[in-house]
Amino acid sequence: MTSPSPRQETHRPEVEALINLWKDRPGNLIMALHEIEKSLGYVPRDISQQLARGLNVPLAQIYEVLTFYNYFRLTPPAKNKIQVCMGTACYIKGSGDILETLKAQLGVQEGEITPDGAFEIENVRCIGCCGLSPVIKVGEKVYGKVKPDDVTAILSNYSA
Amino acid sequence: MQEEWIKVCMSSGGVAAGSEDVMAAVEDELAQRSLAVKALRKMGCIGCCHADPVVEVKPKGGKPTIYERVTPEQAREIVAQHFQGGQALESSTPTDEMFPHQVRIALRNCGIVDPECIDDYIAHDGYSGLRHLLADAGPAGVIEEMRLSGLRGRGGAGFPTWVKWNFANKKQADVKYMICNGDEGDPGAYMDRSIMESDPHGVVEGMILAGFAVGARQGYFYIRAEYPLAIERVQKAIDAARSYGFLGERILGTEFSYDLEIRLGAGAFVCGEETALIASIEGKRGTPRPRPPYPTDCGLWGHPTVINNVETLSNVTAILQRGGAWYGSIGTPESTGTKVFALTGKVKNSGLIEIPMGTTLREIVFDIGGGPISAKPFMAVQTGGPSGGLITKEHLDTPLTYENLQKLGSIMGSGGMIVIDEGDCVVDLAKFYIGFCAEESCGKCAPCRVGGKRMQEILEAISEGRAQMSDLDKLKKLAHAMQKASLCGLGQTAPNPVLSTIRQYAEEYRQHIEDRTCRARRCVALVKYQMELKKQKAAAAPAGAAS
C-alpha cells in the first residue's frame, strides 16, 4: 500500500485557468487571490500552493500577503457573515452596543463561528454608508440606522 | 435635458436603505398606468444620505421635487400624483436646506447623470474638451491650467496638483504611470466611494487628462475591494470610454495612447500612503518606504508615477472643462476651489456636501447640517479622521482652509467631518482613533508599531480609572516621539487626535483620572465605579438619615 506523500498537492483546473489569465500581468498576486477569495470565500492552503507553482512565487510570499491584508481569510467563512461597522460615525452612534447585542444573542465572540456554522461576527472599519449610521452588513445586505432592539428581527431573516 | 423624469438613488447608501424595492415599485406603477415616462433612471448620490431612499421627480414644465425616506407604497403614490394628477405630494423636503450653501464641482454630476450610461455623461459636457486638450493644448497647456486653478490634492496632504504633474512631466523616462487612489480607508469618509459610484466617467476623464499631462501610457485605478459597486461602475466606465475611442491606441486620432486598469485594495489603511499603495499594486505587502525618492521620480516598478485621489481627479475634469482661472476664483487665495465633506455623526442632515473653501464650520454644521440631531448641545467637530483633531465650538466661525485647520491643530484630511455633542466622551474618541491606527500600523517601523500600542494602553487605563496624572505626560512624550520618528504619514499623524483632545479638553482628562468620572457616561468602567460608590455611600449612611 502506498500512502499519499505529504507533498502531494491537489490540482484544480479552475485555478489553472485563473493562473493563465494573470500569469503574465504585472502585480498579479493580489488580484489572483481576490478571485479565489471571491469564488470560495477564503483562500485554502492547497490553492495557495498551486498558485505559488503557477505564478512562480514562493509560498511564503503568498502567505506574507494573505496575512497582511484584512480582506483575505485562511479558513472557510460561516454561512452568513455579519459585519458591524466600526467607522467613526457608526461608533459614536452606538455600533459598539450593536456588537455587544449580537455577541450575546449568538453566543460567540468576534471572529468566531456559531456551532451550527450559520453566523459569524466581524467588526469592520467603515463600509462607507455613514449617512445611515450605525450600519451592519449581513452577507451583501446592508442594514442602516440599526438599534440594538432590531438585532433579533434582522437575524430572523437568516437561517442555518 | 428631458422634460420629465423620475430618478431613484441607487448609490450604496440608497440601496442599503431599500431603493431597489422603491425602483421596482416605480417601474411597476408606471407600467400599470401605461405611463411613458422616458427618463426613469438610476441616479447616484445627491448627498442627502440620511434621507435615503431618495426619489427625485420632475413633471413636464414643473420643478424637480425631492422626496425622502420613500417607501415602495409612497413611490407608487408619487408616480400617480405627478404623472397623472400633475401635483406634488404634501411631502415636505427639509433636505432642500442642504443645497443653497453648496457649490458642487467634484460632485457636479452626482445624482444628475446615470453613472452607467456614457451617452448621458457626454450629454452633460463629458469628454467635451478632450480632443482639443490632447491635440492643441498639449501637456504644458494642461499643466498651466492646473497651475492657474491652484488645486491642491484632496486626498489629505494638500500638495499642489500641478507641481506633482510638472515633476513627473519633466522627468525623462520611457515608462511612466498614473494612479488613481480609490482606497478610501478613513473611517467616516465616503466621498470617493460616492464619486466613483455616481460619476465614474468624471474620474476616468480626469485620469486620461492627468496621464496625458505626465506622459503616462498606462494608468491604474486602485480601489477598495470593500466597494463592489464602485468597482463595477468604474470598470463599466473604462470599457465604455475605450469603445468610444477615449482610451486605447491613438486616442481621438492624436499621438497619445493610454489605457486604464483596475487593481483592488485588500483592506489596509496604510495603503493610503503612496509608497505603500505602490507596493500593493505590485502585488506585495503594503508597507511604505522612506521618501525621497518620491514616486514622481521612482514609483511603480521603479518608474515615475503620479498618484492622485478620486476627488482631485473629478475636480481636474471640471477645471479643464471650464478653465483654471474659473476654479481659482472660488474659495480663498491659498485654498482655492471647493472641498467635499462627509458630514456625519450627531447632526440632523448627514450626507455628502461640497462647499467653497473659506466656508465656516457654523454654516456647515448649522445651516447645511441643520444642527445637532438630539437635544444635547453641540460640542465639537472632528475633522481629518484618525490623522486629524477636534475643532471646538469657540472656533465655529473660522473659515475652513488648509491653513486654518492646521492652525487649530487639525487637518483637512480626506474630508471626514464628524459632529459630536455633549453625549460623547473625548477620551473615548481618542482611544477609538489610536486603537484604529495601532491596528492598522503595518509594523515596519517601531515608533508606530510600539508607540501606537502603548498610547492605546494608557488611554485604556484612563478610561478604566487605572491611570495617574503623570500618565498624561507619558502619553504626550509618546505622541511626540511617534510624530517625529515614524516612517510614514500613518504613524506621524496617528497621535493627532490624542494631542488635540488633551490640549482642548484637559479638564475632562483630569476628571477621568482624578475623579474617576466620565461626564458623558461612555466609559463603562467609570460609570460602574461611580454607581458602586453611590451604593456604598448609601449603605454607610445611618438608617433613616436621608429622611
Distance from C-alpha of B142 to C-alpha of B323, rounded to nearest angstrom: 10
Q: Residue B547 above 50 pLDDT? A: no
Q: Residue B94 above 60 pLDDT? A: no
* Contacting B residues, span 241-270, partner chain A, CB-CB under 8 Å: 263-269
Distance from C-alpha of B237 to C-alpha of B117, rounded to nearest angstrom: 8
- Residue B36 is predicted with a pLDDT of 72
B286/A128 Cβ within 8 A: no
Tell me the C-alpha to C-alpha distance, in Å, between residue B519 and each of A137, B331, B419: 32, 39, 18
pLDDT band for position B59 (cuts 50, 70, 90): confident
pLDDT band for position A100 (cuts 50, 70, 90): very high
Distance from C-alpha of B216 to C-alpha of B206, rounded to nearest angstrom: 13
Summarised one tens digit per residue, pLDDT across range B324-362 is 999 999 999 999 999 999 999 999 999 999 999 999 999
Residues contacting B323, CB < 8 A, separation 6+: B145, B148
Q: Residue B404 above 60 pLDDT? A: yes
Is the bond preceding residue B293 a cis peptide, omega within 30 degrees? yes
- Residue A20 is predicted with a pLDDT of 92
Q: Per-residue pLDDT averaged across A150-158, rounded? A: 95
pLDDT band for position B86 (cuts 50, 70, 90): low
**How far off is chain B from A122, nearest CA to CA, in Å?**
14
Tell me the C-alpha to C-alpha distance, in Å, between residue B364 and each of A81, B131, B140, B359, B399: 37, 39, 37, 7, 11
Percent of chain B with pLDDT over 90: 81
- Residue B298 is predicted with a pLDDT of 97
The chain-wide mean pLDDT, for chain A, equals 90
- Residue B90 is predicted with a pLDDT of 59
**How far off is chain B from A68, nearest CA to CA, in Å?**
6
Within 10 angstroms of residue B502's Cβ, the number of other Cβ atoms is 19
Summarised one tens digit per residue, pLDDT across range B248-278 is 999 999 999 999 999 999 999 999 999 999 9
- Residue B39 is predicted with a pLDDT of 67
Please answer whether residues B195 and B110 qualify as being in contact, where contact means their C-beta atoms are separated by less than 8 angstroms: yes
Nearest residue on chain A to B424, alpha-carbon basis:
A92
Q: Per-residue pLDDT averaged across A111-138, rounded? A: 92
Q: Per-residue pLDDT averaged across B438-451, rounded? A: 96
Summarised one tens digit per residue, pLDDT across range B469-528 is 999 999 999 999 999 999 999 999 999 999 999 999 999 999 999 999 999 999 999 999
- Residue A4 is predicted with a pLDDT of 46
Q: Per-residue pLDDT averaged across B395-407, rounded? A: 95
Q: Residue A34 above 50 pLDDT? A: yes
- Residue B514 is predicted with a pLDDT of 97
- Residue B156 is predicted with a pLDDT of 83
- Residue B40 is predicted with a pLDDT of 73
* Contacting B residues, span 206-225, partner chain A, CB-CB under 8 Å: 225
Helix intervals (H) in B252-309: 274-281
Residue B332 phi, psi dihedral angles, 5° rounding: -110, 165
**Cβ burial, residue B25 (10 Å; 0-12/13-18/19+):** buried
Regarding predicted confidence, which is higher, A37 or B88? A37
Distance from C-alpha of A135 to C-alpha of B288, rounded to nearest angstrom: 31
pLDDT band for position B95 (cuts 50, 70, 90): low
Is the bond preceding residue B53 a cis peptide, omega within 30 degrees? yes
SS3 B160: strand
Which of A123, A104, A103, A121 minimizes the C-alpha distance to A112? A121
- Residue B380 is predicted with a pLDDT of 96
* Contacting B residues, span 349-388, partner chain A, CB-CB under 8 Å: 350-352, 382, 385
Chain A CB contacts of B184 under 8 Å are: 128
- Residue B519 is predicted with a pLDDT of 96
- Residue B2 is predicted with a pLDDT of 55
Regarding predicted confidence, which is higher, A2 or B352? B352
SS (H, E, C) A117-139: CCEEEEEECCCCCHHHCCCEEEC
Which triple of cell numbers denotes residue A131? Answer: 449617512
Q: Which residues partner with B152 through β-bridges? A: B160
Q: Comparing A121-125, B280-284, B532-536, which segment has the lowest mean pLDDT?
A: A121-125
Intra-chain end-to-end CA distance of chain B, in Å: 77
Q: Per-residue pLDDT averaged across A117-145, rounded? A: 91
Summarised one tens digit per residue, pLDDT across range B109-160 is 999 899 999 999 999 999 999 999 999 999 999 999 999 999 999 988 899 9
Q: Per-residue pLDDT averaged across B177-182, rounded? A: 98
- Residue B35 is predicted with a pLDDT of 77
Tell me the C-alpha to C-alpha distance, in Å, between residue B472 and each of B224, B244, B417, B519: 37, 61, 27, 19
A71/B267 Cβ within 8 A: yes
8-state DSSP, B135: I
Interface test with B, best of A29, A33, A132 (most B CBs within 10 A): A132
- Residue A136 is predicted with a pLDDT of 95
Nearest residue on chain B to A30, alpha-carbon basis:
B283
Which of B64-68, B202-206, B409-413 has the largest mean confidence?
Answer: B202-206
* Contacting B residues, span 432-451, partner chain A, CB-CB under 8 Å: 432-433, 436, 440, 442
Which of B377, B380, B373 minimizes the C-alpha distance to B350? B373
Going by their DSSP bridges, the two strands B55-58 and B65-67 should be labelled as antiparallel
Summarised one tens digit per residue, pLDDT across range B183-217 is 998 898 999 999 999 999 999 999 999 999 999 99
Q: Residue B85 above 60 pLDDT? A: yes
Q: Per-residue pLDDT averaged across A35-57, rounded? A: 94
